């Protein structure tokens, strides 16, 4: 992993949105991410909490910072916001450009074990290990106060990272996440390609299955779902499965799910409830241990 290259920086809400590229050992290519830094972190006067946002299928590092509406709220709470890309790009893997649900923009936050994906499509390790190490070493953030959230495929990723790394994240939330990918078309298709035919290997990337066996510090989870989301009605998301699993582990899992009438799968939905999610994370990030 090599050092950061600054692509751009723009003044915004008493801070800066910066875009960086760097060479990634996990994905064997150049990766890009955005980070919002409040002024107090830029000055180095204080280490601030850090919140990671994982985007969904077809998205990249820019969707949240341009359409999500999070920056005024993270600025208010003096939280850094990191938005990575959703997959490797330009690595010339056969088939990565032919299907919007697989390959470019569809890394699914797994570490691939199958050809031709395994050399590059390691987004789990990239986000959980490499990117966070780079952010912690390069910016004035407090790694002990880290939270994560995401949308759709990214909501799946956020839940999986939090459940697989007990105690690492103070909180996790999701907008319309893919909750049970081993039982839905969004999941089975990608897991077959990236992880192979042994379905027992898929469980470690399935939030519903991980939630059933979670054994760590109490984890607070917030999930919002729109009731006119076309992917909800087609049973790709299955939030009810997450609720049932959480009911088996109420001692350690504090899950709040909210069905939002009239909302779909878009960033209009995400914008509407963004302040709630930032406030949810801020409460946990600034909570006294």
- Distance, in Å, from the CA atom of 276 to the CA atom of 220, rounded to the nearest integer, reads 14
Give whole-number Cα distances, 154 to 11, 41, 122, 157, 199, in Å: 27, 26, 14, 5, 21
> Is 168 marked active-site?
no
> Is 143 marked active-site?
no
Q: What do you get for the CA distance between the two ends of the chain, in Å? A: 33
Closest Cα partner for 139 from 286, 280, 39? 39
Report residue 111 as tokens. Answer: 């570490």
Other C-beta atoms within 10 Å of 81: how many?
26
Burial level of 116, CB count in 10 A (0-12/13-18/19+)?
Answer: middle
Catalytic option among 24, 87, 152, 184: 152
Catalytic option among 173, 229, 241, 281: 229
Catalytic option among 151, 156, 241, 265: 265
Rg (CA), the chain: 18
Phi, psi of 61 (to 5 degrees): -70, -15
94 with 120: CB under 8 angstroms?
no
> Is 265 marked active-site?
yes
Closest Cα partner for 35 from 2, 75, 3, 1? 75
Residue numbers annotated as active site: 152, 229, 265
């Amino acid at each position: 992993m090599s050092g950061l290259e600054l692509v751009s920086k723009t003044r915004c809400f008493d801070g800066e949105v910066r875009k960086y590229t760097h060479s990634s050992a996990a994905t064997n290519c150049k990766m890009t991410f955005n980070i919002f830094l409040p002024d107090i972190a830029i000055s180095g006067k204080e280490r601030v909490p850090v919140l990671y946002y994982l985007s969904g299928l077809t998205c990249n590092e820019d969707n949240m910072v341009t359409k999500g509406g999070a920056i005024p709220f993270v600025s208010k709470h003096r939280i850094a916001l990191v938005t990575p890309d959703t997959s490797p790009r330009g690595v010339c893997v056969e088939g990565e450009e032919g299907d919007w649900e697989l390959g470019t923009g569809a890394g699914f936050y797994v570490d691939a074990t199958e050809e031709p994906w395994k050399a590059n499509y390691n987004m789990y390790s990239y986000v959980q290990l490499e990117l966070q190490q780079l952010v912690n070493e390069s910016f004035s953030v407090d790694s002990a106060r880290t939270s994560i959230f995401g949308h759709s495929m990214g909501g799946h990723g956020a839940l999986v990272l939090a459940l697989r790394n007990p105690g690492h994240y103070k909180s996790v939330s999701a907008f319309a996440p893919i909750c049970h990918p081993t039982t839905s078309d969004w999941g089975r298709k990608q897991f077959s390609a990236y992880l192979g035919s042994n379905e027992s290997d898929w469980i470690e990337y399935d939030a519903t299955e991980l939630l059933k066996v979670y054994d760590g510090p109490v984890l607070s989870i917030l999930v919002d779902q729109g009731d006119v989301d076309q992917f909800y009605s087609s049973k790709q998301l299955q939030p009810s499965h997450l609720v049932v699993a959480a009911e088996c582990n109420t001692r350690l899992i504090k899950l709040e799910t909210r069905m939002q009438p009239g909302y779909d799968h878009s960033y209009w939905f995400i914008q509407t409830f963004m302040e709630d999610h930032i406030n949810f994370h801020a409460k946990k990030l600034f909570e006294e241990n």
